[in-house]
Chain A
Amino acid sequence: MFGKLNLSAIPLGQPIPLITSLVVILIVLGVLTLITVKKWWPYLWREWITSVDHKRIGVMYSALGVLMLLRGFADAIMMRTQQAAAINAMGYLPPEHYDQIFTAHGTIMILFGAMPLVLGFMNFLVPLQLGVRDVAFPTFNSVGFWLSASGALLVNVSLFVGEFARTGWLPYPPLSETAYTPGVGVDYYLWAVQISGIGTLIAGINIVTTVLKLRCRGMSYMRMPVFCWTALCACLLIVAAFPVLTATLAMLTLDRYLGFHYFTNTAGGNPMMFVNLVWAWGHPEVYILVLPAFGIFSEIFPTFSGKPLFGYRSMVVATLFICIVSMTVWLHHFFTMGAGAAVNTFFGISSSIIAVGTGVKIYNWIFTMYGGRVRFEVPMLWSMGFIFTFIIGGLTGVLLAVPPADFLTHNSMFLVAHFHNVIIGAVVFAIFAGMDYWFPKAFGFRLHKGWGIAAFWFAFIGFWVTFAPLYVLGLLGMTRRLQHINFPEWRPWLYASVVGVAILILGVISQVVQFVVSIRDREKLRDVTGDPWDGRSLEWATPSPPPFFNFAVMPNVEGEEAYWGIKQRAVETQQLSPEPQYEPIEMPVNSGVGFYTAFFTSVFGFAMIWHIWWLAILAFAAAFAGFVFFAWRDVHEFEVPAEEVARVDRARRAAREALLERLSQQGAMS
């Protein structure tokens, strides 16, 4: 009746997962009770769960990402402390648990932490920066988000029911085949990643279509903000690479469920085919994360330097270059496969060449600051910390791209230090920089500056104290994923790394305190102008937070840095552009289809993991029926009356008048 599922799936004998589970369940129950008692359900359902507004969906993506970052960070603390505690000892985590932790850490950080955050930024920003009212497919956007959430849910359910994979974040066969991993861990991984991967693909298609087909008047390609370019390139990579992941995981699923022989080491299966296929997705995935991060920095540097971005065209070319070359470097993840000198040389050179595109960008950012009036606000601190950190991470990457050197450092702690160096240095720093920068746009008030500065310095120093020792350990010969360590001479470095983690914990606490304090003091931090940083792109032309239709009248762009031009004209002429003729606006209606589908795909995934076939069939049928049911609806759009549009926009104009006055006074003084 319940397939493989029975009571022994609950980890009653293991105190750590059990206590964590109980705490998490209590927190979730507490939140649900609070929502019920405060009668927030109707609001949540109307304004968030069924919302097809790209800004709301972007915020939900980011919230999901932040939650998962915290979960992944908890795993990281356990790993670093375990290794420090297990020098000539067994530590406090048994091997089968430790293996689940490093698998979950990688999977969660990349696929359920960084990805939702990056998609959140793209969703929130791309339509605003392009001067349009929504993404190309608003309802599908909601479906994509909820599928990502469904995948994240399944990963976290594995904590309470059953186990997670012990194979590493990419489940290499033959270890991940049924013969060697008969439990449900790999199945949790497969279904969670598969479901959220489909969500990501939907988001990718959506953003590509939005950027290519949905720009406001005058917004030609070479006038788009660089963030839109990076979003476009990242989503092109999603469209090209995520299907590879889907196919690869489907093959592994067939191996595990039906006894196929794609990747087995018997009967003509080919494990190295998995490694090739999965990295043909995995390497572009790195750039899917990092390109939007570059986009975020490319927005922040000009704003806080008071100058246009240096070398806009070369930035665009470098982005496209990275987009294309990132598809041709995947083999550097396994130079040791034995593909031969010629193949390794090709991939070694292509991996080094990609640093050229990145180098162009670094110089452009530095030259953007050069001669500018740099304001050291929190987003700028993260961005400058990024340049320093990322350059070192990039250089160690070039070392790893040299095949003979890679034979020595392959799968060592040097590699671990390197990819944390680039992913934290670029993606995570960009996420915090972007959060600080666009938070007022999303919520209408700024984040507290002092706590932001504290969070940056703790994170920056903590990062280096944690990971610099790992570089050393890698060169001393320590391999990754060790549950215990038999070399006491590594002790100082492992302890130093734990000190770094402690500093990082302070950073995380500062970040959380920053949120709490800012929400408490929101009236003091309120952004009434809609343009708190003296911004340059179109999102700052809207009030904070923007109305659900973004722009009362679609902007007409007449040059690069669309909003900067509008602002300068207003300052010069001492007046806003004349009030436009307001017209009614058609906006898409809310839809529960995303939530509904994701609910049933979660059930479907769970049923497949535990081999509950009848439930799987039922859930799949219900999901399909739901889709057909929603396809039947007749009303897709509703009209916002012209008076309402005018009311909202006149309020915006009033705020702009005040801003204009202030800007003119500043101009007169300087």
Chain B
Amino acid sequence: MTDSGLPASVAAIRRVQQDPNRLGQRRHGSTEPVEGVGLGTTGPATKRIIVGYGFWIFLLSDIVVFSCFFAAFAVQRGATAGGPTLEQIVDIRRVAFETAALLLSSYTCMLSFAATNARSRLWTQIFLLVTGVLGLVFVLLEVQEFAELAGRGITPQRSGMLTSFFGLVGLHGVHVTIGGMWLATMMAQVQVKGFRREIVHRLICFNLFWHALDIVWIGIFTIVYLMGSNSTGSGA
């Protein structure tokens, strides 16, 4: 049961209907300003919108960081300094599993937020846990990949290409790891404090963060691994 005493599903539907940002909330062609979204002349937005909005802007800045590492990779892709080429180090099979784990974790992350919206602590926690485990699988696979390469003497110190490869992939891995620490903290907070307003706001931000990491990974998967693997006919 929820704060208002209504069944969770009813309360959830009501919340969605009252969300000023809901698509289709406004009648077609209506131009009256909407209260609480911070647009135009209606005064400050609600706390929930401000928090989400600020976090979006942070995510954009984070994506700029990634774009620099992408740019470095693009510049240095051929700078092998006589060492192994990208085609020789890409193991597309492991990366397929990594990608599956991460994409699935994004789905379960979304399910956890659906559970949050329905104010179900149990299911929120279960899906957060699954998300965390999938994230852990991803990180472990990546660590295994790096360790295997290092075992073959393939390290960032070898060449400019390897530097930017490990830099870009590693930066994403660090992000997922930090996301995991955040996730663990959020699970503890949900357990101890329940769905207080700030906790829900933090869950929104965490969700955005996790999905953004997925989007970045799609870029890495495509540009580094798919375009770097033998099967795409790079001729190596």
Interface residues of A in 181-236 (CB under 8 A from B): 201, 204-206, 208-209, 212-220
Within 8 Å of chain A (Cβ to Cβ): is B5? Answer: no
Q: Is the CB of A631 within 8 A of B160?
A: no
Inter-subunit contact A260/B167 (CB<8 Å): yes
B72 touches A262 (CB 8 A): yes
Known: A201-B61, A239-B57, A261-B163. A216 touches B43 (CB 8 A): yes
Interface centre among A209, A212, A258, A557 (most CB of B within 10 A): A209
**B157 in contact with A254 (CB, 8 Å):** no
Chain A count of residues within 8 A CB distance of the other chain: 49
- DSSP majority for the B interface? helix
Interface set, chain B 140-178, CB cutoff 8 A to A: 156-164, 166-167
Binary contact track A228-261/B, C-beta < 8 Å → 1, others 0: 0000000000011011101110010010001111
Instruction: Answer whether A132 and B81 are a contact pair too, CB < 8 Å, given A260-B156, A261-B156.
Output: no
- Asked whether B50 lies within 8 Å of A209 as measured between CB atoms, the reply is yes
| B198 & A214 in contact (Cβ 8 Å cutoff) | no
> Is there a chain A Cβ closer than 8 Å to B42's Cβ?
yes
B61 near A240 (CB under 8 angstroms)? Answer: yes
Interface residues in B49-79 by Cβ distance below 8 A to A read 49-50, 53-54, 57-58, 60-62, 64-65, 68-69, 71-72, 75-76, 79
- Cα distance, A224 to B33, chains bound together (Å): 18
Contact A214 B44 (CB under 8 A): yes
Beta-carbon contact of B41 and A217 below 8 Å = yes
- Please give, as numbers and ranges, the residues of chain B lying within 8 Å of A217 by CB-CB distance: 41-43
Flag B169-213 by CB within 8 Å of A: 1 or 0 each: 000000000000100010001000100101000100000000000
Assembly CA distance A634 to B193 (angstroms):
9
Number of residue pairs spanning A and B whose beta carbons lie under 8 angstroms apart: 137
Tell me how many residues of B have a C-beta within 8 Å of chain A: 45
Complex alpha-carbon distance, A67 and B202, angstroms: 37
User: Is A153 at the interface (CB under 8 A from chain B)?
Assistant: no
- Among A266, A269, A277, chain B packs the most CB atoms within 10 A around the CB of A269
Asked whether any CB of chain A lies closer than 8 Å to the CB of B80, the reply is yes
Contact call B157/A260, Cβ cutoff below 8 A = yes
B contact residues around A624 at 8 Å (CB): 181
**Residue B38 interfacial (CB < 8 Å):** yes
With A217-B42, A258-B156, A267-B160 known as contacts, the answer to whether A239 contacts B61 (CB < 8 A) is yes
User: Within 8 Å of chain A (Cβ to Cβ): is B40?
Assistant: yes
The distance in angstroms between the C-alpha atoms of A632 and B163, with both chains bound, is 39
**Residue from B41, B61, B79 within 8 A of A268 (CB atoms):** B79
What distance in Å separates the Cβ of A173 from its nearest Cβ neighbour in chain B? 12
What are the residues of chain B within 8 A of A461 when measuring CB–CB?
none
B1 CB-CB contact with A under 8 Å:
no
Knowing A217-B42, A243-B62, A260-B167 touch, does A209 contact B54 (C-beta < 8 A)?
yes
Known: A240-B64, A273-B75. A267 touches B158 (CB 8 A): yes
Q: Which B residue sits closest to A137, measured CB to CB?
A: B54
A270 partner residues in chain B, CB cutoff 8 A: 75-76, 79, 160
Say how far B174's CB is from chain A's closest CB, in angstroms: 10
Choose among A132, A204, A628 the residue with the greatest number of B CB atoms under 10 Å from its CB: A628
Confirm or deny: A23 has a beta carbon within 8 angstroms of a beta carbon on chain B: no
What is the CA–CA distance of A247 and B68 in the complex, to the nearest angstrom?
6
User: Which residues of B sit under 8 angstroms from A524, Cβ to Cβ?
Assistant: none
Most interface-central of B41, B75, B181, B202 (chain A CB within 10 A): B41
Answer yes or no: A356 CB below 8 A from chain B CBs: no
Tell me the bound Cα distance from A218 to B42 in angstroms. Answer: 6
A624 to B182, CA, bound (A): 10
Per-residue B-contact encoding for A124-152, CB less than 8 Å = 1, 0 else: 00000000100011000000000000000
Nearest CB on A from B190, distance (A) = 12
> B218 at the A/B interface (Cβ < 8 Å)?
no
Given A239-B61, A261-B157, A262-B163; A212-B69 close (CB under 8 Å): no
Q: Are B57 and A209 in contact (CB under 8 A)?
A: yes
A213-B163 contact in complex given A244-B68, A268-B80, C-beta closer than 8 Å: no
| A554 at the B interface (CB under 8 A) | yes
- Whether A268 contacts B160 in the complex (CB less than 8 A), given A215-B38, A220-B41, comes out as yes
A569 cross-chain contacts in B, Cβ below 8 A: none
Is B10 in contact with chain A by the CB < 8 A criterion? no
Collect the chain B residues with CB atoms within 8 Å of residue A220's CB. Answer: 40-41
Query: Contacts A239-B57, A631-B185: A213 and B38 contacting too (C-beta < 8 A)?
Result: yes
List residues of chain B with CB within 8 A of the CB of A201.
61
Pairs across A and B, CB under 8 Å, 6 listed: A201-B61, A218-B41, A240-B60, A264-B160, A628-B185, A634-B196
- Which 6 residue pairs are nearest across A and B when measured between Cβ atoms? A268-B160, A268-B79, A247-B68, A213-B38, A243-B64, A268-B81
Q: A248-B68, A266-B81, A268-B80 are in contact. List 7 more A-B contacts (CB 8 A).
A: A205-B58, A218-B41, A244-B65, A258-B156, A261-B159, A262-B163, A636-B198
